[in-house]
């Protein structure tokens, strides 16, 4: 069961992943969680580095789709300056949102990657959807109240994964 939470890759930040690294892995689209993965949950403006990364992926023809458990109005407001497509109420860890985003793009499972900062929602949903995953460090150390519950349980998941997979650690790029 614990293997369901193991990410394919662990990268320090989403904007460290380059179009060339994605292409080398056969990835044609990036699905990403919203809060604390793409933007800080309490600051929807995004950073200049994020905007540069999004432009680089767009120039490379690699779409970025937000797959979030948040409501449509919340995501639309948060993404108003980033102009990204999204799937709201994705029901992660269930695979429905990832599957919907993948089908909308007409891609196979091995052609997409899900990026997120949580084991319980993002990594587990990736496994259930049969797609690769990238775990990133949360952008900020604070969380919304509902995420704090997941973080409590994630401590036990991290300990078990570290015991079973001692080679797991955050890297600066996709290898």
CATH number at residue 69: 3.40.50.1000
Look at residue 170 and tell me if it is in a domain.
no
Tell me the HSE value of 160 on the side-chain side, using a 13 A CA sphere: 12
pLDDT of residue 147: 67
Cα separation, 42 vs 35, whole angstroms: 8
* Model confidence at 145: pLDDT above 70: no
* Model confidence at 15: pLDDT above 80: yes
Look at residue 169 and tell me if it is in a domain.
no
Look at residue 172 and tell me if it is in a domain.
no
Nearest by Cα to 168 from 2, 1, 48: 2
Q: What global pTM score does this model have?
A: 0.92
pLDDT of residue 98: 98
β-bridge partners, 87:
67
Look at residue 90 and tell me if it is in a domain.
yes
Look at residue 77 and tell me if it is in a domain.
yes
| Residue positions counted in the chain | 175
Q: Where are the alpha helices (DSSP H) in the chain?
A: 19-24, 48-59, 72-78, 96-105, 124-129, 145-164
- Over residues 75-79, mean pLDDT: 91
Residue 59 corresponds to which tokens in the numbers above? Answer: 């120039």
Placement of tokens 């091995």 in the chain: 110
Look at residue 31 and tell me if it is in a domain.
yes
Total number of domains in the chain: 1
Quote the domain boundaries for residue 135.
2-164
């Amino acid at each position: 069961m614990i293997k369901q939470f193991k990410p394919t890759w662990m990268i320090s930040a989403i904007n460290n992943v380059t179009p060339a690294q994605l292409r080398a892995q056969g990835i044609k689209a990036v699905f990403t969680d919203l809060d604390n993965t793409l933007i800080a949950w309490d600051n929807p403006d995004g950073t200049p580095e994020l905007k540069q990364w999004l432009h680089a992926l767009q120039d490379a023809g690699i779409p970025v789709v937000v797959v979030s458990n948040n409501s449509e109005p919340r995501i639309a407001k948060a993404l108003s300056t980033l102009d990204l497509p999204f799937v709201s109420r994705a029901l992660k860890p269930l695979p429905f949102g990832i599957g919907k985003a993948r089908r909308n793009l007409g891609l196979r499972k091995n052609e997409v990657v899900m990026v997120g900062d949580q084991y319980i929602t993002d990594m587990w949903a990736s496994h259930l959807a049969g797609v690769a995953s990238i775990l990133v460090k949360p952008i900020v150390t604070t969380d919304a109240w509902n995420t704090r519950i997941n973080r409590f349980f994630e401590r036990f998941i991290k300990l078990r994964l570290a015991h079973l997979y001692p080679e797991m650690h955050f890297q600066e790029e996709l290898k």
